Amino acid sequence: AAFISIQAFPALLDLPQEPEVSAVSCGSRHTAAVTRGGELYTWGWGKYGQLGHGNTTSSDQARRVEQLVAEGLRVEEVVCGPWTTYVRV
């Protein structure tokens, strides 16, 4: 089982290529961020596929959701639920 650290206090986060973040949403154990360019980055607990990477792998590192990029979709808004992530494109 993957160990995911839980941050009780705000912490700096380094995103790949340092994009500007326009929105953030937190679920019970995962987080998602939308960039000004319309890309979605997710990290945290992924047991139910809520990170959107096509698997159930958890990650402490923010990763871009490549499926949205591959389909040419621009993310406008993100809302995380307890074990879900909703995205408006």
pLDDT tens column, 48-60: 999 999 999 999 8
Model's pTM, two decimal places?
0.87
Instruction: Please state the domain count of the chain.
Output: 1
Note down the domain range covering 11: 4-88
Q: How far is CA 5 from CA 2, 9, 46, 59, in A?
A: 10, 12, 13, 9
Q: What is the pLDDT of residue 4?
A: 65
| C-alpha to C-alpha distance for 3 and 87, rounded to whole angstroms | 26
